[in-house]
Structure 1
Amino acid sequence: MAASKNETVSELVPVKFSRLARRGVLLGLSLSQLITLAIGVLAIVGALYAGGGQLLAYTAPVWVLSAVLTWVPIAGRPVVEWLPVGCWWLWRTTIGQLIYRRRVVKPRPAGTLALPGDMARLREYEDPETGAGMIHDPHAGTLTAVCEVTHPAFVLLDPGEQERRVSSWGRVLATVCRSGRVATLQVLERTLPDSGTGLAEWWASHGADDGSWASTTYRELIDRAGPAGERHASTISLALDMGAAARQIRTAGGGMRGAAAVLRQEMATLTAALRAADLTPSGWLGTGQIAVILRSAYDPAIAATLERHGQLGQDLATAGPVAVNESWSRLRTDSAHHAVLWVSEWPRSMVYPGFLSPVLLSTGIQRAFSLLCTPLRSDQAARDIRKKKVEHISDMAQRQRIGQIEDAAQTAEYQDVLQQEADLTAGHGVLRYTGLIAVSAPTVDELDAAVAAIEQAAIQASCETRLLVGQQAAAFTAAALPLCRRI
């Protein structure tokens, strides 16, 4: 009996992700599709009542265009859903928001970040008690702190240890959901060119640098091979919702000092949960360390130099890019071209927890994988699930009334809702996930090759990815920067 119990514990349990909800407002049609469809129907009905067939021919451009906008897909989305993206892109092109050049002579205001676009509104705040650097977004009403985390290679652990760590990580996410004051939790895993400091430190502590031919050759090999390597860095960012925590902020003294005190409570809770999950938080990053991450994202060529010389780039006022050019499908910054992919569909079949290893362990590609988690309070999640159940049942009854056949995708979405309700009842947290992959390369050709390799790796991981066209600048800030940005 004991042997069978131990064998059960050591088994790695596969999991299944919920499908991306594609259910519309009515009969699978979204609100924008219903509006364009209504315009076409009104044009046809009005023409028939007013002038018959001749007027119907005159109004043909209206209802034909409505039909095209409603049902004709482009890249898997109806044409009408591309209109906001295209109009916003046209507006930004007209007013010159696709090009950013830093004003070197004109200094930035104190306490601001030298970042392009809407991130220019961000403010820095250094916590006097912990020394952690906090990023304040006055428009979104959030205060963000960043923690660096170290961990052993998950794929090298035995199945029993993997299953235990997965369960522990689930408890970490459930802890984040309980307070109701956390706006976003971001897990960022990025590849960096290794500066060789680790090899140099190992040689300084264990090597015998006695001037011999062997020691000289070994030291030269370390100097040459170190910067050519690659390492992985993981951070967890925690954003406090200052609106939801307004009462606690007033109790703590109000203002930024009170918000920092409330955020410290969430930071302490998250740190304890991470340690219970056998993850090692290396401490909350200061403003200088955050500045290095931002500078390395926009200027990857300088990343190894910043790591080798620890005192360079430790200022948020100079951490932003010098120049940014945004195009429809890519982004150009100081020393690299970037493209951001959205994980549009997670695995639909049962997969094991290490299913993302083809993407995360891809070699020779500089990329950043960002998982944005938006926690929902238990009462809010319960109301949302009840609303979805009512909508599914209503749509099901409507389809039966008009004789429309129920397809497997709609049934699977309803089963996902029931599974979420069961998980919530069992005490688990409910989060909304957004997966983003930012790929960087020195040239356009290398970028296209790297994007193709990541797309193939995502296929091996049973995921679907889509290039976020028309919004690459906003997507890059959400995917490559640990600031809990949303798109």
Structure 2
Amino acid sequence: MSSTKNERQGTELVPVKFSRLTRRGVLLGLSLYQLVTLGAGVGTLVWAFYAGGGILIAFTAPVWLLAAAITWIPIAGRPTVEWVPVAFGWLWKATGGQLAYRRRIVKPRPAGTLALPGDVARLREYNDPTTGAGMVHDPAASTLTAVLSVTHPAFVLLDPGEQERRVTAWGRVLATVCRSGHISMLQVLERTLPDSGTGLAEWWASHGVHDESWASTTYRELIDRAGPAGERHATTLSLSLDMRAASRQIRTAGGGIRGAAAVLRQDMSTLVAAMRSADLAPSEWLTCGQIAVILRSAYDPAVAATLERHGELGQSLATAGPVAVNESWSKLRTDSAHHAVLWISEWPRSMVYPGFLAPVLLSMGIQRSFSLLCTPMRSDQAARDIRKKKTEYISDAAQRQKIGQIEDASQTAEFHDVLQQEADLTAGHGVLRFTGLISVSATTTDDLDAAVAAIEQAAIQASCETRLLVGQQAQAFTAAALPLCRVV
């Protein structure tokens, strides 16, 4: 009986459950911004009560009423006070002229820099002489990033037993990243690109009959003239080294950017070995020219097919950035497309199977990029964070019991998630923080609105909740559409 049960479990998919997005605040479920505004309102009311009584209370009513309103009244699911930093950041960019970017054609950028807008303009390129890989250095964040192209079979077409085996193997890949101790982020970027026709041309070159007959000549001419006939999916993995955490190893390897590249090469080799054991097919690490093509295709999707058909074009990071960028409150306009970035604010709360994202990833006729940002946490740091969450929850529960507030079911579910994370950490598993971003692109604003609505419906089918990132579309686009391990 037991052997039959184990065999059945080995051929069936095991559903999983995600942790809820924590909404626990600093005190009694209130965030720091809410406590500041509430404290200001209560302080004003108490001062008015003792200083002047009823007249002064009525005189200061606009102050404490406004404080109470922005503390408690939500806008788009968030308290009003939490929109204040976003609004101030938007006003700062608007008054500083940072909503529009134009490339300086006459005055080129310094050698070794990336011609990108916004805060990614500080990035530097480094060509690793040992592996030939292109690495992107962020001097402000002290990170060094390498990009790897990955091919894999269609997951949804595999049998349940094979799917379960691959899910387990991918978990071991993520565990390898967690054990490193100096990896700041692993980014999985899955993009839809217009099919350039190169696959058809390569098939004809290897399987076609080249006898100069009428049929052969006609086929060859049709293939040569064929433009984008569909879409294809491309997946990359970006590995980012935290140079501060690996400072000792970097000094041992010689110091500087060369020492950091040597340390990153070790993690690159470990990641490739783990991926091959998971039946994934990693290619060579991308060169600076190949990374430049990805960046250019993201900002200018109209030339993506041309860049793929003509491999010698766009192979320079100095010209990979956009020519013009205009940022609005909820959209981003680049060279040949309009973009909008959605954040997966809630992963499925119920038990789901590993292929639950199929409605989003297999949506047809929509040009989009799905980015999964995996931030590993060291075991000691994760243990301290879990203990802190448990202490905060127990103290908040005691405070609510004192004031007679009823315990909320969502708070209990969050506490159970913390306990489950503690059990997983004790069992030897790694802890990662996942952030899901979806960048949608279209040629017109009307097509963009339709594509965003379709992706939102697909996310609902996948049991996910999405939220449009407003006031920060430019920064969100670099995190969602570029393989540079950026954060929002």
| Fold in common (TM above 0.5) | yes
| CA distance in 2: counterparts of 1:282 and 1:377, whole angstroms | 29
Within 5 A, what are the aligned runs for 1:392-411?
A: 392-411=393-412
**Residue equivalent to 1:155:** 156
1:296-351 deviation digits (Å, cap 9, x = unpaired): 00000000000000110000000000000000000000000000000000000000
Aligned to 1:440: 441
Give the superposed CA RMSD: 1.1
Secondary structure at 1:169 match in 2: helix
Which deviates more, 46-55 or 285-294? Answer: 46-55
Structure 1 unmatched runs, 5+: none
Corresponding letter in the other structure for 2:104: R
State the one-letter code of the partner of 1:8. Answer: Q
**Identity, % of aligned positions:** 81
Look up the match of 1:385: 386
The corresponding residue for 1:426 is 427
TM-score normalized with structure 1 length: 0.98
DSSP 3-state at the match of 2:203:
helix
SS at match of 1:140: coil
SS at match of 1:69: helix
Alpha-carbon separation, structure 1, partners of 2:64 and 2:220: 75
Secondary structure (helix, strand or coil) at the match of 1:227 reads: coil
2:20 counterpart residue number: 19
Tell me whether 1:271 sits opposite 2:272 in the alignment: yes
Separation in 1 of the partners of 2:4 and 2:409? 41
Q: Is the 8 A contact 1:197 1:226 kept in 2?
A: no
Report the Cα distance in structure 1 between the residues aligned to 2:5 and 2:53, rounded to whole angstroms: 78
Question: How far does residue 204 in structure 1 lie from its aligned partner after superposition?
Answer: 1.1
Runs of 4+ residues deviating >2 angstroms: 1-5, 209-226
Residue 284 of structure 2: SS of its match in structure 1?
strand
Report the alpha carbon displacement of residue 8 of structure 1 after superposing the two structures with TM.
1.5
Separation (CA, whole Å) in 1 of partners of 2:412 and 2:78: 21
Structure 2-normalised TM-score? 0.98
Q: Per-residue displacement from partner, 1:77-118 (whole Å, max 9, x unpaired)? A: 111000000011001100100000000011110110000111
SS at match of 1:362: coil
Amino acid at match of 2:367: Q
Question: Which residue does 1:450 correspond to in 2?
Answer: 451
Taking the aligned partners of 2:412 and 2:215, their CA distance within structure 1 comes to 68
Alpha-carbon separation, structure 1, partners of 2:224 and 2:448:
28
The residue matched to 1:368 in structure 2 has which SS? strand
Q: Tell me how far apart the structure 2 counterparts of residues 221 and 161 of structure 1 sit (CA, whole Å).
A: 40
Q: Which amino acid aligns with 1:314?
A: Q
User: 1:371 aligns to what?
Assistant: 372
Distance 2:216 2:81 in 1: 67
**283-292 or 46-55: which moved more?**
46-55
The answer for the alignment partner of 1:312 in structure 2 is 313
Match of 1:336 in 2: 337
Distance 1:60 1:325 in 2: 41
Q: CA deviation at 1:48?
A: 1.1
The residue aligned with 2:86 is: 85
Counterpart-to-counterpart distance in 1, 2:260 and 2:107: 31
What secondary structure sits across from 1:155 in the alignment?
A: helix
Aligned residues of 1:199 and 1:226 also touching (Cα < 8 A): no
* Number of the residue aligned with 2:65: 64
Query: Aligned partners of 1:5, 1:406: CA distance in 2, in Å?
Result: 40
2:9 aligns with 8
Once the two structures are superposed, the pairs formed by residues 178-327 of structure 1 within 5 Å of their partners are 178-223=179-224, 227-327=228-328
Which residue of 2 is the match for residue 484 of structure 1? 485
**Alignment partner of 1:12: what SS?**
coil
> What is the total number of aligned residue pairs between the two structures?
487
Amino acid in the other structure paired with 2:471: G
State the AA in 2 paired with 1:158.
D
